[in-house]
Structure formats: structure tokens, C-alpha cells
Structure 1
């Protein structure tokens, strides 16, 4: 690559894995930003060269080109390239398949209809895609794929300039016809062609703009925002699965507020997650309440701060959606207050309905909607007057979601009143301490009756059936109310219940 400080080219020594050299096409920013990007990219390419160059030589011997492309090049320049490598080639899918078979440790053809062959080599997950373009017609949810013959045709049809860079292998030629490196250094998202044409080709790119803003903390160019706003309704033709995946990646980004705000401001959220902009409730001087929309975004950020083991989609979705029942339950009281009675119950149902439409997995829907339903439960705790029975029920109702419920409840405090915030924090500290104490004493994590189903059938001399279920539920209520019982006491309680049942019959 030309020296960033003057026009004198570097000595033209042959590029090798030990001495990678970029021969760059297109303009770049001079100065320290470019130097840092160069150094990062060189280091990352050195790391992947043994695999990338080996694969490139296979394609070269077969008369084909191969280039590292898109997000892989972008992440290399940012110093964050992982184990997933994306390549593009002039070889057609069946030719790619024949070239990677026998070289890769595993090969899959899931994306072959779209020109993509996936494989694994050592620790690297690799995708090789034929030069292509994707376009939607006005009614189709699936892209129409056509193949190209030169890499420039492929790059111009990519979503953003920072993803329209390539490194031709094995010679290490840096290809940047749309000045992606300039935009990378400026941390801005632009499209290679007009944004209108790009979003017409694939409307999901509008979601990707918001996702990359959240993941990379990039700004979105004004003309791109304008096109997103004008074309927001076009997202309707994209399948729910593809939309869901982009939304999840956005929410799991480092700065989801930035991406979510962009979705709301451009109108995309009206089509993808309409419950979010609906939180911007009209306010007036007579009926004051907190800004539910801003509150929800703040709760999301505070929940992220409490994550222990990386991004947690269940917790983040619950934090974002916990108050979506408020618009439907808002009531203006006579004393000037605003109430949202049972908004947690309504919100849980709304959460489930929206996630079903987005085709999230059943278990994920169940967990997120349950957290939304439970997020107000703590506020009945007051200053610690809950009985042990109430604490046991809190733990039992949360089940495996207890730790997430702790985080969600703590995150839900966004008051600027420090005295109130500290009081809530101390109260929850107290609840957690009581839970820990009871867990140590009673094994709360596995609350169950003191007699299991087999013991119930033996003691009552009844076969499997509804009676056993009702007896089990009765014993569980006793366990929650009074704590563990000795076996003799449990047997006596069961027989007493059974006698009452027979007397009623």
C-alpha cells in the first residue's frame, strides 16, 4: 500500500504470509487513522493466511479467483476478525463445492441455492460465495440470484461501502472501489450505489443499517437515513425470519439504543416492532408520568450493565419490552395521576404475540414473556414485610429465570431521585439476602412437595390420574406456605386432605 505520509511507494518485494502487502485500488484517508487500520489488517491477515492462502491457491490452480470480502475485511481493518471468514469467487457453486471437498474438514450446502458453500477448516468457519446480486420484485419474499464474472460487479451490489472491500488472494491486493476505508475511518455507513437502489435490491439492508449502528457505533449517512424513512414500508416483503435475525443482532450489539432509535425515527419499527414506538405516549402538564419509551431504552442499557457472561438476548428483550402493555392500560385518575393497572399481564401477552409473529423459538418466547409478566412482582415487597411463604412463591414462580428477574428488576429503577433509588436497591438487596438464606436452608431451587407421585399413589392406594395431580398440588401449596415437612407430617397432611375429598364426594 502506498505510504500514507508521502507518495513514495513501498519496495515491491513479493508478498508472503510473513510479509503481506496491500496493493490498494481507490483513494484512502491519509494519516494515523489509515496507518492504524493497515497495521491491524496486516496482523489479522497474518493470523488467517495459512488457511486463506491455502484455499486461494486451490482456486488459483483451478483457474479461479478468490478474495476475502465484506465483513471479514471490515473486521480485519477494525482489528476484530474472528474465526468466521467470508470469501467471494468467480467460480460457480458446483465448482466451489468440488474445490473445498477433500480440503475442508466438513462441508455443507445449505446456501447453495444462493451461491454459497459453507465449510469448516480447523477452527475456521468459512463461506465461499459466487459473485452475485440479489434483488426482490414487489411481491416476493425471496431474493432472485444472478451470478457475475468480476468482483467489481459483486462489490457494487453489497449493502454498505465498509462491507464492499475485498482482499484478493493470495497476492493480497486490497480492492476498495467505493472508498470503504474512508468511511471506515470516518465511522459512517454509506451505500456503494444510491441507497434507494440498494434498499430496493434488498429491503433488509435498512435493518442492517440500524444493526451496524448498534454493533459498530457508526453513524448512518443522512441520505441513507432519508431513504430508510421513505422506503420503510418495503421491509414488509422480507420474511419474518430474516427480519427477526437482524433485530436480534441489533439488540445484542454494544449500543442497541442507537440502532433502536434509528428504527423508530425512520418508521421501520412501525413495521417490525410497532410496540416500541407506541411507548412514546402523549404527555400533558396535567397528567404527568415518565417517558415510557425513553425509560424502556434506559432499562435495556442498565440490564446490559448487569450481564455477567456476554450478551443475553432473553434479558435484553425482556428489558426492552417489559412496559409494552402500558399504552393499552393507561388510565387518567381523578386525582391527576396516571395508572397502568395490570400492564405486566397485558404486556406479557403482547410480547408473546409479537415474538410469535417474528417466529422466535418457543422457549425464548416463553422466557421473555414470563419475565415481562413477573417484572412488577418485587414491588409488593415494600420494606421487607413478605412472609417466607411469599419469598418461596417468588422463587418458585421465577424458576430458572430468577437471576434474570433479579437483573431486570434492578434495571427497572430509572428514577432520578437518589433517595428513592437507594431505598429500592436496599429493599432488593434484602430480598436477595432472604432468598439466599432460604435457599441454603430449604433448597429453594428445587421446590417440590415432600412426597412424590409414587408415594402419593402408594399411600392413597390410587392409580395414576387426576387425583394424584390434585394431591401433588395440595402438598406443593403446603410446602410453599410452611416450608419443608418431615415425612410423617407430610403423610398425615395427605391423608387429612384425602379424607376431606372423600367427605365432599
Structure 2
């Protein structure tokens, strides 16, 4: 019989009261020689009476489900869900989702009943809706997501009428509770054959409906270092990651910002102004770093003019303009394709997309998991940018060691603890991204792996170093200087970074602490005014 001893015990007791049929995934998987953790059953008895009988026998049943209520019983990892029905097996079968899930087994006799020929569909590798596919998807549009998951999990072809109905009803998924969609999409994203699943979701039109920021990556031409457009690259990156939901989501979202930041190389000349709308030059908006020091100066800006926001220039470099320069803007002939700061834009878009789902339900750490997702997406380029020379083969061992430690510390220290998992997530996404269609990936993968091994060694050093630090002497020193609250915390972080990077710095060395204290109180410090005020209190 199907199920564990506990599940069988429950169903056999209930079958003494009224006929009970096991149905759905447990029967389907049993036919395939697969054991199932959960068992679904139906019986011609009202839910209240089923619940009453179980209570009478000493069990602790629960009424569960907003869409379709069941009486559910749990013991450890074992679960039994019992729904009521009219007693007409064929009528019940026509209300189920797919024929492979409409195969019944009588608990008492073991007889298999297959009113919709689900066994034949299963043998022939066909996934087909029960009865009218359109009606099934109208009843519960989430079945469209389940269609994709089952087709990929069991390597089935989708029956044409069922597929067409799914395409027509995919907009109805907007009406399904975000919690239910999130759980089902989460199950899809950790499938082994994730690339096939992404292809089906795309063909279905799901991304256009639910995550248009992802759909618009299709056909987006990348720079000369890539062999695939942004969407095909994204699919390969997801495929290259291990089936962990946090990493798969980060891979799926890591390049969302490329549509926003796609640009062509250009030069612009003029006076940089600060307006109510931000920095501008000759009528163009400027976005980037260190623009403020060029305000009211004649400048030459080298950057990229955005494809989709042509009034905006992403700044790469700024230098003084030549007096003889008369042009205002010049597009570089055959200029570079840029996606400057796309990782920052991707993180911003992730923050906008998250409220459409309930990823805190499935991500490790709940809502903190969502923040980690934003962080990993926003920092996925940091490895390539930091170790650009090393990826080209230029490695100075002393500098390299320091860089790996600094990189590991910057990523791993979250302000409270050294988070090795965050570093692993960044490294895993970096590697998957690198193998997702880069021109030189094959010839440089050994260098990338060498760099990542060194970063992991740096993590081991930092973890051990952190465990050996005794802050007693430091705290006595800082309190003696009158540092309290925020001032104490900032000084501690300054010192922490130095002692973590190199074991030549010791918390018990008064000369080291005095030097750091002198640096901390430099007048040029951003917080110098607050510090001086605190001294006079």
C-alpha cells in the first residue's frame, strides 16, 4: 500500500467508516516507482465528520486551505490530506488538474481506478488537463504554474489543447494570491532542468505578465565580450548555479538593470551644472560618481548615452575641456557597448519586484533573505572589477593576498558578524555569470578558480582571526579617550578593519591604537564636527 506506516494507519481507520481513495501525486509516483512524502485522499464524508472521527481516535487534525479545504494530519515529515467528495470518482476526476493526477487507488482493496486514462498519458509522456483545459485553468490559474513544474520534473510533453489554454489564461495569474504563486515559482526555480523551465515560462508569456523587467532583456545586444543576448545569458547563468532558491533568484535578476543602462560610447562637452533634477551638461542629464567636483566647470565627459533614455549620459570619465572644443556631443564610431553600473540598477529593480511576491516565505532568513538577495545582485560585478588585472594573468602575490582579504572582508562583514555564506553566494554567482556566455571564459576559467580559491582562503584566515581577537584592552583605551555610543562604534570599526587584514596589528599595542586614534580625529574626517562637539560636552 502507498505511504508510511502512519499514513496507512490513518487511511485504513478512515476506510472502516467510509470508502477512501488515495489520489494525486502519491498514486502517480507509485506507478513510477517513486515514494511520496505526502499522501492525498478523498472520501464521501463531510470534512467536519472526518475531523470528528480523527479527534475521537486521539489524533490532532487541522482544517487547512483557502482554495480547497482539507483535513490534514502531520507526524514528523509525514502528512495526510483528506478532502471530501460526492462519491462519484469520475466526476471528481474531471475536477482535478491533470489526468496523471486523477488516478485513484482504493485503500481497502488496492484497486487502481483510472477514469481519464491518466496511466496511458503517463506512459506516453503526455501532460493533459482533465476535461476542459480552459475550465480547469479558470477554476485555479495556479495550475498553469504547476503545468510547467510537472512537465519539466517528469520530462513530459504538454498536450496542445492544454498548452493553448494555459497561454490564454496566464494573465489570470494576477488574481492568484501572491503567496501561492511564490511557492510554486520557487519550486520551479530549483528544478534540475531549470533552463527548460525558463524557456517554457517565457513561451507561455509568464514573464511578460509578471516580471516584464526580465522579458525586455530578450534581444538586448550585449558588448563584444558576450556571445549571447541579455536574456539567453541570464538563462545560462541560472543554469550554471546550484539549485538553491536564493542563488537561482539572484542569477535570474542579476542583469535586470542592463535594459535601463544599455548605452553607446560618446563624448559630451560643456559646463556641468547642478539643477533641481540633478547634474546636467548641455541639456543632458549626468549619472555617475564624483560629478560634484566638476560643477560650474567646462568639462569633457566620456561615457555612454542610454539607448532607452537618450537624454541621459552615464559618466565613465571627466576631464577639463579644451578651449578649442566646439562640438557638444559626439557618438564614437563603432564605440563600445556599455552597461555602466547595471548591477546597481539591477538591485533597485529587485527591490521594486519583491513586493509582487512573498519571497520571505521561501528564502533563508525571511525578510532578511530578501535584503541579502538585493545585496548579492548589487555586488555581482565586484569580483570582476576588483580582480580585472588578475583575470588577465597579472598577479603580484603580495598585493593579491591583500586584495583577496579586503574583498572577503568587504563582502563578508555585515556590521555584526562575518558572513561566509554571503561570500559564497557572491562567488557562486560571479562564476556562473562568467560562464554564461563570455568570449574568453574557457581560457580564463582556471584563473577565476585560482582567484576564488584565494578568496576562500582569505575567508578562513578572517574567520580564525576574528575568533582570536580580544577587545578588552581596546575598550579600556577607547573609554579612556571618552568615546561612547556612535563615536565608540565608528572607531572600533576603523580599528577592526586593520587588525582583521593583517596580524601585525594587535589590539594590545598602545602605539597602534594611538596612531589609529590620531587618524580618527583628523579635522578632515566627515564626523569631525560631531566629534569636536562631543569633546566640549
TM-score under structure 2 length normalisation: 0.73
Contact 1:165 1:176 in 2 (8 A): yes
Is 1:394 matched with 2:407?
Answer: yes
For residue 405 of structure 1, what is the aligned residue in structure 2?
A: 426
Residues 434-445 of structure 1 aligned to structure 2 (within 5 Å): 434-443=454-463
For 2:62 and 2:488, locate their aligned partners in 1 and report how far apart those are by CA, in whole Å: 50
**Residue number in structure 1 paired with 2:292:** none
| Shift, 1:154, TM fit | 2.0
The counterpart of 1:461, out of the listed 456, 464, 482, is 482
CA 1:164–1:130 in 2, change beyond 3 Å: closer, same or farther? same
Offset of residue 323 of structure 1? 1.1
- State the Cα distance separating 1:156 from its structure 2 match: 0.9
Tell me, in whole angstroms, the C-alpha distance in 1 between the residues paired with 2:226 and 2:193. Answer: 29
- Secondary structure of the equivalent of 1:200? helix
Indicate whether 1:111 and 2:65 are aligned: yes
Displacement after TM superposition at 1:348 (Å): 1.3
What is the DSSP-based 3-state SS (H/G/I as helix, E as strand, rest coil) of the residue aligned with 1:167?
strand
What is residue 429 of structure 1 aligned with on the other side?
449
Offset at 1:499? 4.9
Q: 1:251 & 1:440 partners in 2: Cα distance?
A: 31
Distance 1:170 1:318, change over 3 A: same
Distance 1:390 1:104 in 2: 63
Would you say 1:375 and 2:380 are equivalent positions? yes
- Structure 2 SS opposite 1:120: strand
Secondary structure in structure 2 of the residue aligned to 1:193: coil
**Matches for 1:195-214 after TM superposition, within 5 Å:** 195-214=133-152
CA contact (8 A) 1:107 1:118 kept: yes
Q: Is the contact made by 2:408 and 2:458 (CA closer than 8 Å) also made in structure 1?
A: no
Q: Structure 1 residues 59, 481: CA separation in 2 closer, same or farther (over 3 Å shift)?
A: closer
Please give the secondary structure, in 2, of the residue aligned with 1:346.
Answer: helix
Decide whether the 8 Å contact of 1:393 with 1:480 is kept in 2: no
Task: Indicate the residue corresponding to 2:108 in structure 1.
Answer: 170
Structure 1 CA distance for aligned equivalents of residues 58 and 38 of structure 2: 14
**How well do the aligned residues superpose, as a CA RMSD in angstroms?**
3.1
Q: Structure 2: which 5+ runs fail to align?
A: 266-331, 361-366, 413-418, 533-537
Q: Deviations over 1:190-230 (max 9, x none)?
A: 11111111111111111111121232222211112211222
Pick from 215, 219, 222: which aligns with 2:157? Answer: 219
2:363 alignment counterpart = none
Deviation at 1:458, TM superposition (A): 2.6
Contact kept? 2:40, 2:81, Cα under 8 Å: yes
1:242 Cα deviation from its structure 2 partner: 1.0
Q: Please point out which of 241, 245, 257 is paired with 1:325.
A: 257
Larger mean CA deviation between 237-246 and 98-107 belongs to: 98-107
Contact 1:217 1:255 in 2 (8 A): no
Q: Which has the higher strand share?
A: 2
- Alignment of 1:350 with 2:349, yes or no, is yes
**Equivalent position SS for 1:129:** strand
* Aligned CA distance change for structure 1 residues 440 and 237 (closer, same or farther; 3 Å): closer
**1:395: how far off?**
1.3
TM-score (norm 1): 0.78
SS at match of 1:125: strand
- Indicate the SS of the match to 1:375: coil
Number of matched residues?
435
Structure 2 CA distance for partners of 1:73 and 1:273, relative to 1, 3 Å: farther
In structure 2, the residue matched to 1:365 is 370
Using the alignment, how far apart are the partners of 2:178 and 2:33 within structure 1?
A: 33
Q: Verify the 8 A CA contact 1:257 1:297 in the aligned structure 2.
A: yes
Change (3 A) 1:113 1:351: closer
Q: Please state how far the C-alpha of 1:162 moved relative to its aligned partner.
A: 0.8
Partner of 1:34: none
- Structure 2 distance, partners of 1:162, 1:445, is 57
What whole-Å deviation, never above 9, does each CA across 1:412-459 have from its counterpart, x for those lacking one? 1236678x2244322222223323443454436849987478446533
Equivalent position to 1:90, from 39, 44, 54: 44
CA distance in 1, matches of 2:169, 2:228: 32
Match of 1:72 among 26, 31, 37: 26
Residues 246 and 73 of structure 1, relative CA distance in 2, 3 Å threshold: same
Counterpart contact for 2:223–2:336, Cα < 8 Å = no
Seen in structure 2, the aligned counterparts of structure 1 residues 182 and 467 have a Cα distance that, compared at 3 Å, is same
Query: Contact 1:118 / 1:127 at 8 angstroms: preserved in 2?
Result: yes
Q: Is the 8 A contact 2:222 2:230 kept in 1?
A: no
